[in-house]
Amino acid sequence: MFRFAKAAVNITAQGARQVVVRHGSHSAAPNFHEKYGNLLMVSGAGFCVAVWAYVRLFFFSFCVEL
């Protein structure tokens, strides 16, 4: 059982080292999502809120008047 636990820890440590190496070799230039991701999320949320407000204010007020 000790050999199994030791092998499992060794495999886990190797995986962790591989992840560190992979992330360490990340390119210096940001990709599209790192560069524009937050801006797109905020503008998309703003667009959704604007459409919701338009529909809420004008469409539902028109339906109530009928």
> What is the tens place of the pLDDT at every residue in 27-55?
667 888 888 899 999 999 999 999 999 99
The Cα-based distances of 47 to 23, 28, 34 in angstroms read 34, 32, 21
Q: How far apart are CA 41 and CA 29, in angstroms?
A: 21
> What is the tens place of the pLDDT at every residue in 3-30?
766 666 576 666 666 665 565 555 667 8
* pLDDT value of residue 30: 80
* pLDDT value of residue 2: 67
**Domain residue ranges in the chain:** 2-25+37-65
* pTM value surpassing 0.85: no
